[in-house]
Structure 1
C-alpha cells in the first residue's frame, strides 16, 4: 500500500530575486530558499520557488507535469501573447520532439569534435592579440568576440546583422523575468532586433557550406515547417552566444581570482574539462527560469495547482550542500561536477551544449598554453540581468608564459 503524502503549506520567504541587490549577489537569498524547504512561496513576487537540487532536477525531467509551453517567464504565454513566436525552449512534445529530431543530425558531439579543428586557429589568433595588449577587459575583448565569430560562422550566417545578436539575446533572456526596468532597457529595440535575427535565419541568407542549410534541409524533407526552421536557427544563435559569453567570462573570473587554480591547470591541462564543469556549477550563467504546472500536483509535500508558475533556481541547485557537500560554495578542481544543471537537464537540456563545451575548452587551452597568470586590475563589475549571471566588465592583466 502506498503511504499518502502529507500536504503542507509552503514556507514564505521574503526577498525579490529580481532586485539589483539579489541579482548581483544571489547567494544569500537562494540559501534561504533552499533552507525553507522543498518548495517555498516568494512573498515579494507571489510565486512558488524551488532551489534544492533534487526538486529542480525532478521538475526539469518531468515535462508532462511541469510544462515549458507556458513560457519560461512569469507570464503564461498560452494565454497572453509573447513578444516573439515561442521557441523550442518554450514547447512541449510533440512539437518539441519534431524540432529536436530535426537538429539531431546537425548539432551533435561528432559535429562538435569536427568543429574543434576549425576554431583552434581563431582561438589562438584571438589569444595572441589580447596577450600582446597586456591589460584587457575580458568580456568585450575575449568572451564576446569568440562566440560571435564561431557560432555564426558555423551556421553560415551572413555578416550583415550580426551586431544584433548580443542585444537580441539580452532581450530573450531578460524576458524570462518580470516586466521591470531591466527588461524595459533591454527591449528598447525589440521589434527591430527580432526582424534582423529572423532575416538572418532564412534559407536565402545562409552560406551553403554552413550547418544552417542542413536545418533547412529538414524543411525540404517535410520534417519541419519553414517557421520551425527559422525558430531553430534563432534558438541556436541566441542560446549559443549569450550563455557561452557568460560561461567564458565566469570561468576566467573564477580563475583570475584563484591563481593557484590557474597554475595547476597549466601543469595539468587535462583538468580543463573538469574546470569548465565546476565553473558552470559554481557560477552558473543560467540562474533561474519558470515552468508552468500542467495539472494539480504535489511536490515536496506542497500542493501546486494547475497553471501555477514555479520559479526554478538552477544556481541554487548547483550549490545545494545535500548534493555537492558542505563545500558547495567553494570552487574545487577535484570535484566531480557532472550532473550540474548549468545547461538544464532532461528534455530541454541546452541544444547547443556540445558546441559551447568545445568553444570554451578550445579557448581555455589556448590561454593555458600562452598565459602564465591572469591578474585582476580592478574590481569586477557584475551584470544586472533578470535570468543570467555573469560580469559586465572583467579588467585583468595577462602575463605571457
Structure 2
C-alpha cells in the first residue's frame, strides 16, 4: 500500500491518490494500519483501485452523513451507481432513498420501533437473555458467536417481527448477502449473490401481510397501508429493511462486545461491579469494533469538502470504522473503555439514515450484557477466533470461550 500521487483537481487543494483496496481479504484481516494511512493522508483521498473518493477522519465522515442533499443515498450506498446500472434487488425504501420519499417511509418505521414499543419489549428480551445465560452456564464451554451472539437475537427478534418459525436459518445468510452486495464485484459479492436465490425467496415471502402473525412489528407496518402512509407495494419492502437492519447490527454488536469483554478482563470487572454500564459497554464495543465498516454516498452536485473539490456523480466511500478511532475526535481511540462518553460515534451512521435497527440492537445488547455480568465471573477465550469476511460488516464467525459462574 502506498501513496501513489497527489494531484490538483479543478484547482482545489491536492487530493492524495492511494493504492489501497478496502475490499481485499488482507485489509479485512487487519484494517487498522490502512485506516491510519487513510486518515493521515488527508481529509479527502482518492482510491485508484475503484475510482472513488474516500473519507476516513471523523469530521468529514460526519459531514457527509449529515448532508443528504449533497451526498445522496438513492443512487446506492454501495459501489454500484443506480443511475448507471440496475440494482441487484429492488432498492431499500430506507437505506437507498432520499427525502421526501425517505422521510415518509422512515416515519412509519420510527413509529413501529419507537422507544415506547421498545419499552414494551424490554421484559420479553430480558427474560430471553436470562434463559440464554441458563443454557450457556450448563455448557460452560461454547462458541460465543453461534451459541450467543446469533442464538439470542434469533430467539427473540423474529418473534417480535411476527415471522413463522420455519425457515429462519435463512435470516443471517440473507443479512450477510445484503452487506456483501454493497461491495465491488469481487469474489465475496459474486458468491453471495450466486447463492442468494433461496434466501431472497424466503425473505420476499415472509414480508407479505399474510405471512406475518397479527400484533407483531411486521403486521404493524402493513397496518399503515390502511392509513394511507405507505402503499401495499411498499409495506413488504419496509418489513424487509428490518430483516437485515434488525439482525446483523445486533449479532455483530453482541459478538464484538463479548470479544472485547473477554480480551479486556478489567473492563469485564468494571461491568460486574456496576450493571448499569451494560448499555455503554455495548455502545463502546460498537465504536471500538464498528460492525458496519463502510458505506458509500454519491454527490448530487460539485462540492468542496475540507478544501477538496469533488465533482457531481462521484462515489464517496465513508470509513465509519476509521472515524470511530480517529484521534482527532477520541481520547485513546484504540482502547476499549466502558466508561467512555460514546455519544457521537458513527457505528450506526448519523443523521437521517441512522440505522433503523439501532434501538433493537441497543436493547438486545444491553439486556444480554447485563444478564451475563450478573451471573458470570469470568469469560476466557479458549481458541483462535475466526473472522467472517464481508464487504461491509466486520465480525467473527467463531469465538470459542469458557465461562466461570459467579
Q: Is the 8 A contact 1:177 1:289 kept in 2?
A: no
What residue ranges of structure 2 are gaps of 5+ in the alignment?
A: 1-9
**Distance across 2 between alignment mates of 1:96 and 1:78:** 18
Give the equivalent residue in structure 1 for 2:125.
119
Residue 254 of structure 1 and its aligned partner are, at CA, apart by 0.6
**Counterpart pick for 2:248 among 220, 225, 242:** 242
Distance 2:187 2:217 in 1: 37
| 1:277-326 CA-partner distances (Å, limit 9, x unpaired) | 2111111100001100011111111111111000000000000001002x
Check if 1:370 corresponds to 2:362.
no
Deviations 1:216-251 (A, max 9, x none): 111111111122111110011111111210000011
Structure-2 residue corresponding to 1:129: 135
Q: Aligned-pair distance for 1:358?
A: 0.6
2:319 equivalent to 1:283: no
Match of 2:172 among 150, 154, 166: 166
Matched, 1:189 2:195: yes
Confirm or deny: 8 A CA contact 1:151 1:237 kept in the other structure: no
Report deviation, 1:99.
Answer: 0.3
Give the match's secondary structure for 2:196. Answer: helix
In the alignment, structure 1 residue 42 sits paired with structure 2 residue 61: no
Of 370, 387, 396 in structure 2, the residue corresponding to residue 391 of structure 1 is 396
Tell me which residue corresponds to 2:364: 359
Could you tell me whether the CA contact under 8 Å between 1:20 and 1:384 is conserved in 2?
yes
1:121 is displaced (CA, Å) by: 1.6
Q: Is the 8 A contact 2:203 2:240 kept in 1?
A: yes
Query: Which one of 199, 202, 209 corresponds to residue 208 of structure 2?
Result: 202
Q: 2:261 aligned with 1:255, yes or no?
A: yes
8 Å contact kept, 2:145–2:399:
yes
Aligned partners of 2:320 and 2:347 also within 8 Å: yes
1:24 to 24, 29, 53: 29
CA contact (8 A) 1:161 1:197 kept: no
Give the drift of 1:336: 0.6
1:70-149 matches, cutoff 5 A? 70-87=75-92, 88-149=94-155
Matches of 2:387 and 2:199, distance apart in 1: 25
Deviation at 1:15, TM superposition (A): 1.8
Per-residue Cα deviation, 1:43-76 (whole angstroms, up to 9, x for no partner): 2322110001010001001000000001111110
**Deviation, structure 1 residue 6:** 7.8
Calculate the aligned-residue CA RMSD, in Å: 1.3
The offset of 1:172, in angstroms, is 0.2
Q: What SS is found at the alignment partner of 1:130?
A: helix
Check if 1:229 corresponds to 2:247. Answer: no
TM-score for both structures, normalised by structure 2 = 0.95
Q: Secondary structure at the match of 2:203?
A: helix
Trace 1:342-357 onto structure 2 (pairs within 5 A). 342-357=347-362
